């Protein structure tokens, strides 16, 4: 059974990643202390931990807010994400431990199940966990914080498009699952170049998905406006 402090940490993290808490949303410390049966000290300790991990910002005299996601944030994300993911992939091959590979396989099973059941929240969270484990495999104190920050925004955007609404999105999700399987096989084989090649192939799929979210096809005005003629029919 989770303690109130552990529950608050896990719930806030999940709510941020799945956009249940909007970027830049202010947190209500008093309501959280009451909801989780905690005093202010452990709640503030959770805030400090999540701020250190890149999920929250603590602004003096303004309170605690969810890390924003602006145009500048997204631009920087697209600029550096492939480089960070590629470096993580190389180091994962070099430093992987058997227990981490086992955890990666277990996460992939849950991801594939989420694809089959069309569980959007599980898809986003298990995908996030898959890439977190690759970061743990890399075991680099300089890269891991950068990866963690990238994955927060990757997951926040991803939760929006990880919803199989049509055949093309289902195809994309199936391809993402196949990429994950290939990552596992390449890491297990210690094939560094195969992992790097997969990183860029997987990134291209993610980039296309995120562009669909950021710049969706416009709605037709006549689909939104009911004309007098249509009222008469």
Longest dimension (CA), the chain: 70
Mean pLDDT of 147-173: 78
Could you give the percent of the chain with pLDDT greater than 90?
Answer: 67
**pLDDT of amino acid 169:** 77
d(CA 198, CA 184): 11
163 — pLDDT class (breaks 50, 70, 90):
low
| Residue tagged 């697209």 (tokens) | 78
SS3 68: coil
Q: Is the predicted pLDDT of residue 222 greater than 80, yes or no?
A: no
Query: What are the b/e assignments for 50-63, b being 16+ CB within 10 Å?
Result: beeebbbbeeeeee
12 or 211, which is more confident: 12
pLDDT per residue as tens digits for the range 85-143: 999 999 999 999 999 999 999 999 999 999 899 888 899 899 999 999 999 999 999 99
**pLDDT of amino acid 64:** 96
The upper half-sphere exposure of residue 178, i.e. CA atoms within 13 Å in the direction of its Cβ, equals 8
Q: Cβ contacts of residue 185 below 8 Å, gap of 6+?
A: none
Domains and CATH numbers, the chain: 4-66 (1.10.10.10), 71-214 (1.20.120.530)
Q: Cβ contacts of residue 227 below 8 Å, gap of 6+?
A: none
Q: Is the predicted pLDDT of residue 21 greater than 90, yes or no?
A: yes
74 — pLDDT class (breaks 50, 70, 90):
confident
């Amino acid at each position: 059974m989770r303690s109130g402090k552990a529950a608050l940490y896990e719930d806030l993290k999940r709510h941020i990643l799945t956009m249940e808490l909007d970027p830049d949303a202010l947190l209500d410390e008093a309501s959280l202390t009451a909801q989780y049966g905690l005093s202010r000290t452990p709640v503030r300790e959770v805030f400090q931990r999540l701020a250190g991990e890149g999920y929250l910002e603590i602004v003096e005299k303004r309170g605690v807010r969810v890390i924003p996601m602006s145009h500048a944030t997204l631009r920087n994300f697209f600029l550096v994400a492939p480089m960070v993911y590629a470096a993580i992939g190389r180091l994962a091959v070099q430093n992987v431990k058997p227990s981490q590979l086992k955890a990666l396989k277990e996460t992939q099973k849950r991801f594939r199940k989420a694809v089959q059941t069309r569980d959007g929240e599980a898809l986003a969270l298990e995908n996030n966990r898959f890439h977190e484990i690759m970061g743990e495999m890399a075991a680099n104190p300089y890269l891991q914080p950068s990866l963690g920050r990238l994955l927060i925004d990757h997951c926040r955007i991803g939760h929006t498009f990880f919803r199989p609404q049509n055949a093309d999105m289902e195809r994309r999700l199936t391809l993402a699952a196949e990429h994950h399987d290939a990552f596992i096989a390449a890491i297990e084989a210690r094939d560094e170049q195969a992992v790097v090649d997969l990183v860029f192939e997987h990134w291209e799929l993610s980039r296309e998905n995120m562009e669909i979210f950021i710049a969706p096809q416009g709605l037709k005005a006549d689909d939104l406006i009911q004309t007098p003629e249509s009222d008469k029919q």
